[in-house]
Structure 1
Amino acid sequence: MEDLGTPVLDNHLHLDPANGRGIDAVRDFRRLGGTHLLVVNKPSWHLGVEADEGEDFRAVFEETLSTVADADAELPGRAWPVLGVHPGLITRLTDERGFSPAEARDLMCAGLDAAAEYVRGGEALALKSGRPHYEVSDAVWDASNDVLKHALSLGAELDCAVQLHTEATDDLTDVAEWAEERGMDPENVVKHYAGGTLAGPTPSVMSEKDRLRTAAEEGAPFLMETDFVDDPDRPGAVMGPKTVPRRVRWMLEEGFEAAVENAHVETPRRVYGVDTRETLSR
């Protein structure tokens, strides 16, 4: 097992032991020097859950908690669950299941309420929400933003971070303002699949060298991720589980030691309240 001399956190990936690589992916991550994971539940319909009420999402969340417990046992650090409702669900509900945008909004908010109970009870670290990254009608866009705002309200209430799946952009100051209006620090809002810079929330930077070099030179708080989807029909998508440790090694070789400390120690502490160094010694 490689030791890179630093905590190594992948801030956003999925694990699917039933259908994908599951814990084997965690072992690959660990072998190359990975220490910590934030595991996000897969979209509910990918796990065969077609929800009609908020409580229906619990099957997804429980499966994720079980997977994270197994991942946690494999790591020299920790694995933490991030639970929520994928924003793409709104299209599945409105286009395929006959929901109105308002009905879809209410169901998705109820799913977030169920996820929030796991954060409240200390079983999950953060929430996941967002809005579609593709063209939708004005009614669906407005409903999606209502869901996102509800997630921010829960984040403020629970004092937890909220990871967001959104359109590709380097400016989410609108979301940062919504967070502040609800009493949430925008730094605790994380845009997953981000580029190297972002106005507003904290970027979780996709681990491509160009994006990471930009983030490192910028010097602002950032995280690193792969968005590994653990789908046997899409092997390696979006990035494989070995990517973050490999990129950390590259960053250290390039002289970006301060950026590695930023992404893997300082920003996790600021955003999530976790100590990646202390949890290495358990």
Structure 2
Amino acid sequence: MDELDTPVLDNHMHLDPVNGRGVEAAEEFARFGGTHLLVLNKPSWNLVETATDAETFREGFDLTVEVTAAASEVLDGNAWPVLGVHPALISQLVDDGYSPEEARDVMQAGLDVAAEFVADGPALAIKSGRPHYDVDDAVWEASNEVMRHAFELAGEVGCAVQLHTEGGEDFTEVADWAEEEGLPRERVVKHYSGGRVRGPIKSVISNRDDIEAAVEEGGPFLMETDYIDDPDRPGAVLGPKTVPRRVRWMLEEGWDDAVRTAHVETPARVYGIDTEATLTD
């Protein structure tokens, strides 16, 4: 397939080296013109076991760092790990007998480990968030405390935070919390966004309608597939070839400026990465 004359970044993809395709998914992304990846660790229970201590988090993070390094080898650009704690862990822990406060402490300890990976070099950013499903008030409050801890850590180590949250458009309060914890709101990314989001930077799930809405709204945005690399759900949420295909479509529509926004300018603004300079000839 003809190469695209632009970097192409998928801002949120999972590569599962234990149960899934792993690097093969990155190879498919590259074949269709993808150049850069942000690889999110899967929940600990998908890779190792339900994490209840720092070492279990570390084991899962190490697996993600390794598969991300291997993915970089097959791309014309780079792949970077984004590490953290899936917000649904709180429900797993509470179901196992932990109080919401005890579960919060476990998850904050996992974020501490993720911040070490950022500070020491291999990871680019942290992931956190809160449940996207109904929970009781105590779990909701504990989850927000976990998320605020992620903001505090990111402010300390100088990185962005990707958020997994409920759906919606107005997350101004969350962006305000980040700034209260010392993290600029432009370093907060709402993963799995629709085309219109207020507060954080939106990472748009790459359906045509959502991309079109993001282009119409203007402003910074990123694009993602949230590919989960699950052999039982091939292609879910969107397949590895989706972002490169959407970029081709955007260029056909004449949205060259929006492509540059999503794949060059916003990655530089949010993560401090240069997707043009990291391309190989």
Same structural fold, with TM-score higher than 0.5 when normalized by the shorter chain: yes
Name the counterpart of 1:108: 107
SS of alignment partner, residue 37 of structure 1: strand
Q: Which moved more, 1:33-42 or 1:175-184?
A: 175-184
Q: Deviations over 1:227-277 (max 9, x none)?
A: 000000111110000000000000000111000000000000000000000
Q: Give matches, 1:16-27, under 5 Å.
A: 16-27=16-27
Structure 2 gaps, min length 5: none
Q: What amino acid sits opposite 1:148 in the alignment?
A: M
Deviations 1:97-118 (A, max 9, x none): 1100000000000000011000
Report deviation, 1:33.
Answer: 0.4
Cα separation, 2, equivalents of 1:231 and 1:20: 5
Looking at structure 2, the residues matched to 263 and 177 of structure 1 have their Cα atoms a distance apart, in angstroms, of: 23
Partner deviation per Cα, 1:119-153 (whole Å, 9 max, x = no partner): 00111000000000000000000000000000000
2:169 matched to 1:170? yes
Q: 1:188: which partner in 2?
A: 187
Select between 215-224 and 132-141 the one with higher mean Cα deviation.
215-224
The answer to whether 1:126 aligns with 2:125 is yes
Equivalent residue, structure 2, for 1:218: 217
CA distance in structure 2 between the partners assigned to 1:78 and 1:34 by the alignment: 10
Instruction: Confirm or deny: 8 A CA contact 1:186 1:200 kept in the other structure.
Output: yes
For residue 230 of structure 1, give the secondary structure of its aligned residue in structure 2.
Answer: coil
SS at match of 1:239: coil
The answer to whether the 8 Å contact 1:54/1:108 transfers is no
Q: Displacement of 1:50 after TM fit?
A: 2.2
Q: TM-score, with normalisation over the residues of structure 2? A: 0.98
Offset, 1:62: 0.3
Tell me, in whole angstroms, the C-alpha distance in 1 between the residues paired with 2:208 and 2:83: 28
The structural deviation recorded for 1:53 is 1.5
How many residues are aligned here? 281
**Correspondence for 2:34:** 34
Task: Report the CA distance between 1:2 and its aligned residue.
Answer: 3.1
Question: Do the aligned residues in 1 keep the contact of 2:48 with 2:59 (CA within 8 Å)?
Answer: no
In structure 2, the residue matched to 1:159 is 158
Output one character per residue of 1:186-219: Cα deviation in whole Å (capped at 9) or x when no partner. Answer: 0100010001111100000000000001111211
- For 1:210 and 1:50, locate their aligned partners in 2 and report how far apart those are by CA, in whole Å: 36
Equivalent residues of 1:129, 1:151 under 8 A apart: yes
Question: Separation in 2 of the partners of 1:228 and 1:51?
Answer: 22
Q: Which residue of 2 aligns with 1:270?
A: 269
* Match in the other structure for 1:253: 252
CA offset digits 1:36-59 (Å, max 9, x no partner): 000000001111322222232000
Give how far 1:19 is off.
Answer: 1.4
Single out whichever of 33-42 and 172-181 deviates more from structure 2.
172-181
Q: Which amino acid aligns with 1:263?
A: A
Segments of 5+ residues of structure 1 without an aligned counterpart are none
Mark the CA change 1:78 to 1:152 in structure 2 (over 3 Å): closer, same or farther: same
Query: CA–CA distance in 2 between the matches of 1:149 and 1:252?
Result: 38
Match of 1:201 in 2: 200
Measured at CA, do residues 18 and 52 of structure 1 come closer, stay the same or move farther in structure 2, by a change above 3 Å? closer
Does structure 2 retain, via aligned residues, the 8 Å contact 1:85–1:112?
Answer: yes
* Structure 2 residue aligned with 1:279: 278
Asked if the contact 1:215–1:222 (Cα under 8 Å) also holds between the matched residues in 2, the reply is: yes
Describe the SS at the equivalent of 2:275.
Answer: coil
Asked if the contact 2:87/2:143 (under 8 Å) is kept, the reply is yes
Identity within the alignment, %:
64
Could you say what secondary structure the match of 1:190 adopts? strand
